[in-house]
């Protein structure tokens, strides 16, 4: 495994670095005060347009879809360089990372022409409407239904944990269209207008004070059949396109996430009744464990990058990074706040590093659910990476309406 850039990658990195240095502007550092929602949307759209005009959006997408037609390593290089700064990218990460690749893989030519370019340019925001109150880890258990009515479908039901639904213009939604078939075979996916009559997004208040996630209710929402993605009943197959992109996207460590060095620096500063925290052997052991986990994450990600550089597609082993990253971030942030004792949750005017750890602590619980829970990902690792026997699935071949009734 060679961790160094090839000559072509090094040249692209220099090109990206020069462009970012010339254009990153106010995003070089964190804003002095957090943006409110309107400012976040405004800055996000502006940065997306700037990147698009310079040819740094859709880097791996086909040129026929408005992309750059380049290899995945160029996308990785761009992401690595952009992550050195604080440009707002989160508003478009789900739409461009998961939704639109699903749209141009399974949508009609007319649908692709209508939606892809506007999303890439930052004109329209997208969300992914998958999880439900009784269907998250077991996604195929969804109950939101779509019933055919002439050339349209009528959607009724509820989704939950939908990131940025309240800021989105469109979403991709999986619905049950044939409850008489087994749960994986009676699903169909659609594009839904988030401003259509009958759509209501209710932001969920998080303990951080933010509202990134939503409950979304659908009451008699009409969607034209032209906005179906894939064939009727093929919704699970279409959803797998989205899920593979999602797990790759959330498998790595989030930008600017704290690491073992954060713990080490803090332990050197914190004074306890027995002296500086770093002097305690249990503190050093926890930092060492975090270092080992951080290095394991880095090397696992390098393995995936190595596969990409050889033209291979990363497989289910990417689930390993997701499981380890989420668990490590949560445990590390909790330990860091323990070191701070009661000062760990004082907000306003405190150490910026402590505030960053607070954010990591409050966000990391969600990360253990996003893109598949730990339990689901461990099943994937066991069955598809280690080749262990599959989990017992007694309802796999039962008609969905029969399994729900049982």
**234-244 average pLDDT score:** 88
Q: Is the pLDDT of residue 345 over 80?
A: no
Evaluate the CA torsion angle 298, 304, 307, 308 in order and state its sign.
negative
Q: CA-CA-CA-CA torsion for 308, 312, 313, 318, nearest 10 degrees?
A: -60
For the entire predicted model, the pTM comes to 0.86
pLDDT score of 243: 77
What is residue 347's predicted lDDT score, i.e. its pLDDT? 61
Given this model, what pLDDT does residue 109 score?
95
Q: Where does the pLDDT of residue 1 fall: very low under 50, low under 70, confident under 90, or very high at 90 and above?
A: low
Residue 245 pLDDT more than 80? no
pLDDT at position 72, please? 82
What does the pLDDT read at residue 344?
A: 65
- What is the residue-wise DSSP string for 147-185? EEETTEEEEEEEEES-TTGGG-SEEEEEEES-TTSBTTT
How much is the pLDDT for 354?
A: 76
Q: Please tell me the predicted confidence (pLDDT) of residue 256.
A: 66
What's the CA angle centered on 123, arms 122 and 124, to 5 degrees? Answer: 95
- Residue 370: which pLDDT band, with cuts at 50, 70 and 90? confident
Question: Could you tell me what percent of the chain has a pLDDT over 90?
Answer: 55
Residue 326: how many other CB atoms lie within 10 Å: 26
50-62: pLDDT as tens digits: 999 999 999 989 9
Residue 249: band (very low, low, confident or very high) from pLDDT cuts 50, 70, 90: low
246 is catalytic: yes
pLDDT digits (tens, 9 = 90+) for 250-296: 456 666 677 888 889 989 988 888 889 999 999 999 999 989 988 88
- Rounded Cα distance between 178 and 232, Å, is 9
User: How far apart (Å, rounded) are the C-alpha atoms in residues 291 and 287?
Assistant: 6
Is residue 339 pLDDT above 80, yes or no? yes
Q: Mean pLDDT score of the chain, rounded to an integer?
A: 88
Top-confidence range, 119-123, 248-252, 262-266, 378-382: 119-123
Catalytic residue among 246, 273, 317, 353: 246
Which of 123-127, 134-138, 298-302, 357-361 tops mean pLDDT?
Answer: 123-127
CA nearest neighbour of 377 among 325, 334, 333: 325
Q: Is the pLDDT of residue 405 over 70?
A: no
Evaluate if residue 314 carries a pLDDT over 70.
Answer: no
Q: Check whether 247 has a pLDDT greater than 70.
A: no
For residue range 160-176, what is the model confidence (pLDDT) as tens digits?
999 999 999 999 999 99
Reported as a single tens digit per residue, the pLDDT across 64-107 is: 999 999 988 898 899 889 989 999 999 999 999 999 999 999 99
* Of the listed ranges 225-234, 301-310, 327-336, the one predicted with least confidence: 301-310
Q: Contacts for 255-260 with beta carbons within 8 Å, 24 or more apart?
A: 255/83, 256/83, 256/86, 256/356, 257/329, 257/360, 258/329, 258/332, 258/333, 258/336, 258/353, 258/356, 258/357, 258/360, 259/290, 259/294, 259/332, 260/287, 260/290, 260/291, 260/294, 260/332
Integer Cα distance of 126 and 149 in angstroms: 26
pLDDT of 231 reads 97
Beta-bridge partners for 329: none
- How many C-beta atoms surround the C-beta of residue 279 within 10 A? 12
Q: Tell me, what's the pLDDT at 283?
A: 92
CA distance 48 to 97: 13
């Amino acid at each position: 495994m060679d961790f160094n850039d090839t000559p072509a990658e090094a040249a692209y990195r220099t090109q990206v670095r020069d462009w970012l240095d010339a254009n990153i502007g106010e995003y070089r550092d964190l804003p002095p005060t957090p943006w409110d929602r309107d400012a976040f949307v405004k800055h996000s759209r502006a940065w997306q347009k700037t990147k698009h005009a310079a040819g740094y959006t859709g880097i791996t997408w086909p040129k026929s879809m408005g992309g750059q037609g380049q290899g995945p390593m160029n996308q990785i290089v761009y992401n690595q360089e952009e992550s050195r700064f604080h440009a707002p990218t989160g508003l478009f990460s789900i739409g461009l990372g998961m939704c639109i690749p699903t749209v141009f893989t399974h949508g009609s030519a007319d649908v692709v022409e209508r939606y892809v370019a506007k999303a890439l340019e930052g004109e329209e925001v997208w969300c992914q409407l998958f999880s439900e109150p009784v269907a998250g880890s077991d996604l195929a258990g969804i109950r939101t239904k779509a019933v055919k009515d002439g050339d349209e479908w009528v959607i009724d039901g509820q989704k939950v944990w939908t990131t940025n639904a309240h800021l989105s213009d469109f979403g991709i939604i999986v619905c049950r269209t044939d409850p008489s078939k087994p749960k994986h075979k009676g699903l169909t996916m659609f594009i839904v207008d988030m401003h259509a009559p009958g759509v209501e997004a209710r932001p969920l208040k998080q303990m951080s004070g933010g509202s990134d996630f939503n409950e979304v209710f659908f009451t008699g929402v009409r969607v034209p059949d032209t906005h179906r993605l894939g064939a009727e009943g093929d919704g699970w197959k279409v959803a797998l396109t989205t899920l593979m992109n999602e797990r790759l996207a959330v498998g790595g460590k989030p930008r600017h996430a704290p690491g073992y060095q954060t713990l080490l620096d803090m332990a050197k500063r914190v004074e306890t009744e027995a002296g500086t925290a770093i002097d305690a052997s249990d503190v050093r052991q926890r930092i060492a464990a975090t270092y080992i986990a951080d290095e394991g994450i880095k090397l696992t990600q390098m393995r995936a990058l190595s596969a990409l550089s050889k033209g291979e597609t990363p497989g289910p082993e990417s689930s390993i990074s997701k499981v380890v990253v989420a668990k490590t971030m949560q445990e590390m942030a909790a330990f860091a706040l323990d070191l701070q004792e009661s000062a760990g949750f004082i907000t306003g005017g405190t150490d910026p590093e402590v505030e960053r750890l607070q954010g990591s602590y409050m966000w990391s619980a969600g990360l253990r659910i996003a893109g598949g829970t730990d339990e689901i990902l461990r099943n994937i690792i066991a069955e598809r990476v280690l080749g262990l026997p599959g989990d017992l699935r007694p309802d796999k071949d039962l008609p969905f309406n029969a399994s729900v009734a049982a």
